[in-house]
Structure 1
Amino acid sequence: MRALLVVNPAATTTSARTRDVLIHALKSDLKLEVVTTEYRGHARDVGRAAAESGDAHLVVALGGDGTVNEVVNGLLHNGPDPDALPRLAVVPGGSTNVFARALGLPNDPVEATGALLDALRTGSERTVGLGLASGTPGTADEGAPDRWFTFCAGLGFDAGVVGRVEQQRERGKKSTHALYMRQLMRQLMSEPNRRHGAITLARPGEEPVGDLVATIVCNTAPWTYLGNKPVYAAPRASFDTALDVLGLARLGLGAATRYGTQLLTSSPERGPHGKHAVSLHDQTAFTLESQAPLPFQVDGDHLGLRTSVAFTGVRRALRVIV
């Protein structure tokens, strides 16, 4: 089988020696070409070239969720076609690896490589749904490029946290859970709309839901991990359905404490809930609109400020080795 391995050399949890071992193991079973990423967006470009050339049957992403997101956006540049596109495989190398873990893969890259080779030998794969974020026609964000996401997106509070973390990483800080928690608290203290949100969720044929401070869009569950602990913002979200949404209309000190505790104690059966929490399941199409530009993120990648984002849940978008 012809395969392309896309390696992020800056992956948080793999060393050069570990990557060499993984490459050697994959070459034992695959006709492998290796590409090491050199700039932001390189993995996307490589994925697109693989999809358009048809030379590779399989594209393996070795890195964190950001690397996986870039590869997926490259593969789906011309739209989803799971029967024609190369299959995707993931070897986790980031700090959190939500997509890989949500697929049931080991979080250790060596163990994940072994699981990948076993899956290839037995033909184990599944077709997963993905989310698509687009610029909304008739708004200032109409021309924003489409962006596919594998596990989550957000407009407002959580995207602000992601942006703060990225700033710290650019200054040389390591991506750790402690870093995320510190930036979360700083975002909470500086959030200007925490008592009266600026976001409206609009759906075709439904009454709009307004005054939201935070909106988390989930394509699977869990939403993220704190170490080895899964955190469920939308417990019913699944790769087999469209998108789920958690919206929070208050993030004052009391509400933030309540919803933060609910997230930390969340489970596959129960996520955040209450008077100011809105939960929607299996949504195919909706729009998030803001009265003022707000931070926007997909799969933990901060994409700047937006006033409007259109979301589409696309079932059966891509084949993945599991």
Structure 2
Amino acid sequence: MRALLVVNPAATTTSARTRDVLTHALASDLKLEVATTESRGHARELARLAAESGEIELVIALGGDGTVNEIVNGLLHEGPDPDRLPRLAVVPGGSTNVFARALGLPNHAVEATGALLDALQQGSERTVGLGVASGAPGTDDAGVPPRWFTFCAGFGFDAGVVGRVEQQRERGKRSTHALYIRQVVRSFLQEQHRRGGTITLERPGAEPVEELVMSIVCNTSPWTYLGNRPVYATPAASFDTALDVLGLSRLTPAALSRYATQLLTSSPERGPHGKHAITLHDQTDFTLHSQVPLPFQMDGDHLGVRKSVSFTGVRRALRVIV
């Protein structure tokens, strides 16, 4: 099998020596080409070229969720076509690795490489659904091009926290759970719409859901991990269905404390719930509108501010080796 290994040299949990060992292990079973990313967006371009070549059968991501997201967007540049496009495989090298772990892969690069080689030998793969977001038609964001996401997107408070964390990382801070918690507190203290949000969720054939402070859109579950603890925002979300949504309409100190506790104690059977929480399951098409520009993130990558975002859940979008 001819494969392309896309290596992110800035991956936070792998060293250059480890990456060399993994590359040699993969090259022993595959006709392997190796490409190292040089800048943001490079992984996407490499994957796009691999998909267009018609010669690459497998693209392997060695990096974190951001690297995986870029590769998925490169592979799906012309849209989903599981029977034609190269398969995707992931060797986790980031700080959280939500997509890889949601697929059931080990969170250790060496162990994941061994699992990948076993899966290739056994011909084990699955076709997963993904989400895609774009600027809503008829709005100021209409020209924003579509972008795929593998496990989650956030609009509002959640995305603001992600943006703050990115700013701290650009200043040299390490991506730790303590860093995230500090940014949650700081975002909360500066949130102007805690008691009545500005987001409206619209979907065909249903009444709009208004005054949301934040919206989390999930393509799978868990939503994220705190160390080895999975956190379930929308427990019913699955790679086999469309998209799930968690919306919160109030973030007072009491509400924040309640929902934070529910997230920390969440399980595959129960996530956040209550008077000011709404959950929607298996949604194919919907739009989030805000009265004011709000932060927006996809797969943990802060994408600036938006006023309107349209979402589509696409079943059977891409084949993945597992």
**Partner SS state of residue 74, structure 1:** helix
**Partner SS state of residue 211, structure 1:** strand
- Unpaired segments of 5 or more residues in structure 2? none
What is the CA deviation profile of residues 36-64 of structure 1, one whole-angstrom value per residue up to 9, with x for unaligned ones?
00010000000100111112100000000
Query: CA separation in 1, counterparts of 2:167 and 2:195?
Result: 26
Q: CA deviation at 1:70?
A: 0.1
Query: CA separation in 2, counterparts of 1:172 and 1:145?
Result: 31
**Partner SS state of residue 133, structure 2:** strand
**Partner SS state of residue 272, structure 1:** coil
Q: CA deviation at 1:177?
A: 1.0
Query: CA separation in 2, counterparts of 1:299 and 1:79?
Result: 19
2:15 maps to: 15
**Partner SS state of residue 137, structure 1:** coil
Alignment TM-score, normalising by the size of structure 1: 1.00
Q: CA deviation at 1:289?
A: 0.4
2:166 maps to: 166
1:112 maps to: 112
Aligned length: 322
What is the CA deviation profile of residues 144-164 of structure 1, one whole-angstrom value per residue up to 9, with x for unaligned ones?
011100000010000000000
Query: CA separation in 2, counterparts of 1:54 and 1:155?
Result: 36
What is the CA deviation profile of residues 7-45 of structure 1, one whole-angstrom value per residue up to 9, with x for unaligned ones?
000001000000000000000000000000001000000
Most deviating of 173-182 and 222-231: 173-182
**Partner SS state of residue 168, structure 1:** helix
Q: Which runs of 4+ in 1 moved over 4 A?
A: none
Paired AA for residue 93 in structure 2:
G
Query: CA separation in 1, counterparts of 2:55 and 2:7?
Result: 18
Q: CA deviation at 1:307?
A: 0.1
Paired AA for residue 48 in structure 1:
R
Query: CA separation in 2, counterparts of 1:292 and 1:211?
Result: 12
Alignment of 1:196-235 (within 5 A): 196-235=196-235
2:35 maps to: 35
1:121 maps to: 121
Query: CA separation in 2, counterparts of 1:194 and 1:11?
Result: 35
**Partner SS state of residue 72, structure 1:** helix
What is the CA deviation profile of residues 262-318 of structure 1, one whole-angstrom value per residue up to 9, with x for unaligned ones?
000000000000000000000000000000000000000000000000000000000
2:181 maps to: 181
**Partner SS state of residue 244, structure 1:** strand
Query: CA separation in 1, counterparts of 2:199 and 2:48?
Result: 34
Query: CA separation in 2, counterparts of 1:93 and 1:188?
Result: 30
Q: Percent identity of the aligned residues?
A: 80
Paired AA for residue 313 in structure 1:
G
Paired AA for residue 226 in structure 1:
L
2:248 maps to: 248
